[in-house]
């Protein structure tokens, strides 16, 4: 297991699903120490989920998913089942290649705030790569978790009907509003 501490609040654990679409693998992010949020538990890889549990223990409070593609969200269902922690995100019906099994406890809306005693997250709806794609803005550190909306070292796949290039470009405007002057 290779955990990387990126900032005082953020840790990153990359799943072992490296391929041409995922690059080095899906990044799972852990926010906080005492009230931990996991963003994108990734594919259904039990060893990766067990690593996330061993890193968070009883501190795990909630699971967020950026969207329901199979390399991002199926692990969330396993993590939820193993810990009983609630799962937050957004669903879609139009994607041909989506995680149909997912059972989201709380549907998030654009502008929602998720607050803990350590940090606050704002939800930004960013359709384009997927109609149910959400980015998460960590207000305390001016940091945006972009899921598959922006990727390191690759252009993003926009596959209609769920993917939409016009929506994709408009979503950057929503993101740009959070950039400090």
35 to 94, contacts with Zn ion by CB under 5 A?
69
The nearer residue to Zn ion, 82 or 151, going by C-beta atoms, is 151
Cα–Cα dist 25/84, whole Å: 26
What tokens were used for 19? Answer: 């391929």
CB-CB contact of 123 with 61 (8 Å): no
Cα–Cα dist 71/73, whole Å: 6
Q: Select the span of 23-31, 95-103, 113-121, 144-152 touching Zn ion (CB under 5 A).
A: 144-152
Nearest distance in Å: CB 68, Zn ion:
9
Q: Tell me the number of residues near Zn ion by CB under 5 A.
A: 2
Nearest distance in Å: CB 3, Zn ion:
23
**Would you count residue 148 as binding Zn ion (CB under 5 A)?**
yes
Sign of the alpha-carbon torsion through 35, 140, 50, 99: positive
The nearer residue to Zn ion, 80 or 133, going by C-beta atoms, is 133
What tokens were used for 160? Answer: 């209609």
Residues that bind Zn ion (CB under 5 A): 69, 148
């Amino acid at each position: 297991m290779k955990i990387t501490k990126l900032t005082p609040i953020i840790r990153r654990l990359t799943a072992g699903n490296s391929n041409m679409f995922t690059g080095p693998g899906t990044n799972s992010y852990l926010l906080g120490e005492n009230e931990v949020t996991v963003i994108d538990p990734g594919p259904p890889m039990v060893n990766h989920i067990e690593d996330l549990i061993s890193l968070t223990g009883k501190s795990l409070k909630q699971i967020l998913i950026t969207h329901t593609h199979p390399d991002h969200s199926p692990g969330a269902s396993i993590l939820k089942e193993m810990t009983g922690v609630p799962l937050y995100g957004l669903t879609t019906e139009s994607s041909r290649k989506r995680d149909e099994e997912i059972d989201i406890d709380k549907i998030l809306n654009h502008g929602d705030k998720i607050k803990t005693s350590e940090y606050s997250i704002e939800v930004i709806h960013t359709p384009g790569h997927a109609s149910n794609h959400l980015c998460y803005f960590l207000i305390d550190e001016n940091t945006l978790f972009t899921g598959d909306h922006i990727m390191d070292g690759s252009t993003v796949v926009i596959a209609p009907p769920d993917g939409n290039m016009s929506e994709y470009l408009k979503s950057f405007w929503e993101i740009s509003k959070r950039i400090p002057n």
